[in-house]
Amino acid sequence: MEKIWSKTKIGNMELSHRLAMAPMTRSRAQEDGTPGELAALYYAQRATMGLLITEGTQPSDDGQGYLWSPGIYTDKHIDGWKKVTDAVHEAGGYVYIQLMHAGRMSHPDNTPHHRQPVAPSAIAPGVEMFTATGMQDIPVPRELSQEDIQTTIADFRKAAAAAIEAGADGVEIHGANGYLINQFLGENSNTRTDEYGGSIENRARFAIEVTKAIVKEIGAERTGFRISPGTPLGGIQDGEQGPELYRYLVEELAQLDLAYLHVMHLGDEQLLQDIRSIWQNPLLVNRAGRTLEDLSVDLDRGLADVVPVGVWSLANPDLVERLRQGAPLNEADTTTFFGLGSKGYTDYPTLEELKSQEGLH
């Protein structure tokens, strides 16, 4: 793991190692979308991860998909996130707020305005959504008009400005995992016949326009972008043109000189190599199902510059120290991933705390 401990630079950030905390939905925000009381502690506990990419954060009422997910579009949201960024910065870390518009991956019961979800096309994802009354089928979304698309792009831009006002070091645009931007990219989720549908250039247009708007607002050095080629989450299918679409998208994004590109990688090794050759700026690769022993494989092969880590950093606030020492890791409790206060959120012990507890017995 030698390369993991080498320094690197991303955007305006000087990082002391090549790990980062991956974005993970935790569903612990207040009902109005303000980060919960424990959010500052949760993120600050993990500040040694260097770059912390937050849970998906909606840029508008329309953008909310899940219960108790945070927002970044009101004064209260900004104040709540300011507590988080201050705490992380005081602990020596950096924060990128992930901007996530859920699009059709939503339910009226989960949003402040209780309206029909929105999407590039009126096609339901064919999956269920957790709501306050239990699991429900996701309804058919309302197709965004061209005017709606421009409003949504403006929502992303305003949310990025709000994130910087809240003290974030930057934002990650969530173009992955079945959410709105990914829905525009998907062959089966976007059947539009205007300039936002059809050809790969048209299906990539929304992603590129959102990114350009955010870059204009906060600067390319504060903007990251996440993709998940070939990931079938939310019922998305890339189709036969998928690899070609992602090569085109990455080429276009590369021209904007972003802080980083974050790839959720599921196994198309040739596509990952192509992305690496196209993308000259820092590349983050999150490889699904990776073992601890393989943590540095993509770094060693030159396929990645940084390795984002999810569940291990969730369960181990001192993951960096544990890896340096070769110490055992806490096991993650999957039953407490979402919405249960401090349990499974801020109560995972560090090595030091475990030693103290042992000393008391």
Q: Average pLDDT in the 170-174 region?
A: 98
Beta bridge partner(s), residue 286: 264
Question: Confidence band (pLDDT; 50, 70, 90) for 356?
Answer: confident
Contact 137, 128 (CB under 8 A): yes
d(CA 102, CA 182): 10
Closest to 54 in 3D by CA, of 188, 167, 146, 184: 167
- Give the tens place of pLDDT for each residue, 37-80: 999 999 999 999 999 999 999 999 999 999 999 999 999 999 99
Q: How far is CA 14 from CA 2, 93, 130, 261, in A?
A: 18, 10, 39, 17
pTM of whole model > 0.95? yes
Instruction: Report CA Rg, the chain.
Output: 20
Q: Which residue has the tokens 């199902």?
A: 289
Grouping H, G, I as helix, E, B as strand and the rest as coil, residue 46 is coil
Q: What is the pLDDT of residue 177?
A: 97
β-bridge partners, 9: 14
**161: buried, middle or exposed (CB in 10 Å: 19+, 13-18, 0-12)?**
middle
Residue 14's region, left for phi above 0, alpha for psi from -120 to 50, else beta, is beta
pLDDT category, 304, cuts 50, 70, 90? very high
Q: Is 353 left (phi over 0), alpha (psi -120 to 50) or beta?
A: alpha
- What is d(CA 111, CA 212) in angstroms, rounded to the nearest whole number? 27
List active site positions. 179
Q: Is the pLDDT of residue 359 over 80?
A: no
Give the span between the Cα atoms of 196 and 120, in whole angstroms. 8
Residues above pLDDT 90, as percent of the chain: 95
What would the pLDDT profile of 312-334 be if each residue is shown by its tens digit?
A: 999 999 999 999 999 999 999 99
252-300 pLDDT, tens digit each? 999 999 999 999 998 899 999 999 999 999 999 999 888 999 999 999 9
Give the pLDDT confidence score for residue 357 in this predicted structure. Answer: 78
**How much is the pLDDT for 42?**
98
Quote the mean pLDDT of the chain: 96
